[in-house]
Amino acid sequence: MQPRLFHLHALSALHCGTGQSTGVVDLPIARARATQLPIVPGSSLRGVLRHQVAEHHPKDAPLLFGPQTIDGKADSFAGALAVGDAHLLVLPVRALAGIVCFATSPFILRRYAQDCGRAAPPLPPATGPETALIADDSVNLLGGKLVLEDLDLTARKDAAVSAWAKRIADTLHPADPAGSTDFIQRFAILPDDIFGFLAETATEVRARIAIDETSGTVKNGALWYEENLPAESVLWGVYALSASNDRQTPRTADELAACLTPTGTLLQLGGKAGVGRGLVRFHTAEVSA
């Protein structure tokens, strides 16, 4: 199978949930079991991609995703596309200076570099427990400090951080130099423990209500809280393509790749589409062996 990299750039708050919760937040977002970092399950993305492909390439959709109905053994075959979970790469965090910081961590970049292959820049050096590595010192600093939420971090500029910021920015803003420059200026690599804390506490929680159609007021007990990944979050994952498994319709992996959603396409992921949640840009890239 041929692995390929994909990125999801959230343009609005993103809610891919896990159902009900017994905690304070009624509808939390999906998180990886071991790390507790937010994810978008591959099944959610696969369903959206199938809808997109079926709209533009209806004959090739079953080859990529498998047949929707099976009448007998002769009609059964596996889809050629395997879609992995999307993992959090960049989290926008409120900054005292400069409004927002685009944050990641060494743990995340190490995992991301493994999926990027040889195209990945060298990883930056280890930092102190309260030190953030930055690509640019013109936007987010206040008296030499990077203040995120209620955390004060010592900022240190590093060339390796600039290389990572540029690589991610070029993926998200391939035809927008101003957007790419803005991302680089706000990019920072935080210590793993601090990023993990922010990934749990700096997500967006919104209160929702339901209105009684007769009275026009809130229904009794119809108040709940939803967790979202904030707009401007970035996630990445890997999908893989094989040749068609349908003997009656042979296609190579490259031929099937041409039928997939073009890079830069706008998708709607997760729930709450009616209130504007889940608008993302879907970007793809080759993996360097």
Measured CA angle at 285 (ends 283, 287), to 5 deg: 150
How high is the pLDDT of residue 210? Answer: 83
Give residue 11's pLDDT band: very low, low, confident or very high (50, 70, 90).
very high
Q: How many CA atoms lie within 13 A of 25 on its CB side?
A: 17
Of 14-18, 74-78, 92-96, give the range with the top mean pLDDT: 92-96
Statement: residue 232 has pLDDT above 90? yes
Give residue 204's pLDDT band: very low, low, confident or very high (50, 70, 90).
very high
How high is the pLDDT of residue 119? Answer: 75
Name the average pLDDT for the chain. Answer: 90
Instruction: Give residue-wise pLDDT tens across range 106-160.
Output: 999 999 999 988 778 999 887 788 999 999 999 999 999 999 999 999 999 999 9
Give residue 274's pLDDT band: very low, low, confident or very high (50, 70, 90).
confident
Please give the average per-residue pLDDT across 271-279, as a whole number. Answer: 84
Instruction: Give residue-wise pLDDT tens across range 222-231.
Output: 888 899 999 9
Instruction: Give residue-wise pLDDT tens across range 13-62.
Output: 999 987 666 577 888 999 999 999 999 999 999 999 999 999 999 989 99
Please give the average per-residue pLDDT across 95-105, as a whole number. Answer: 96
Percent above pLDDT 90 for the chain: 65
> How far apart (Å, rounded) are the C-alpha atoms in residues 222 and 104?
36
Say if CB 191 and CB 131 are below 8 A apart. yes
- Give the long-range contacts of residues 92-96, CB within 8 A, separation 24 or more: 92/230, 92/231, 92/232, 92/233, 93/148, 93/149, 93/198, 93/202, 94/148, 94/149, 94/202, 95/140, 95/146, 95/147, 95/148, 95/186, 96/142, 96/147, 96/148
How high is the pLDDT of residue 91? Answer: 98
Please give the average per-residue pLDDT across 192-217, as a whole number. Answer: 90
Statement: residue 217 has pLDDT above 90? no
Partners of 32 in the β-ladder: none
- Is 0.75 surpassed by the pTM of this model? yes
Count of CB atoms situated within 10 Å of the CB of 216:
7
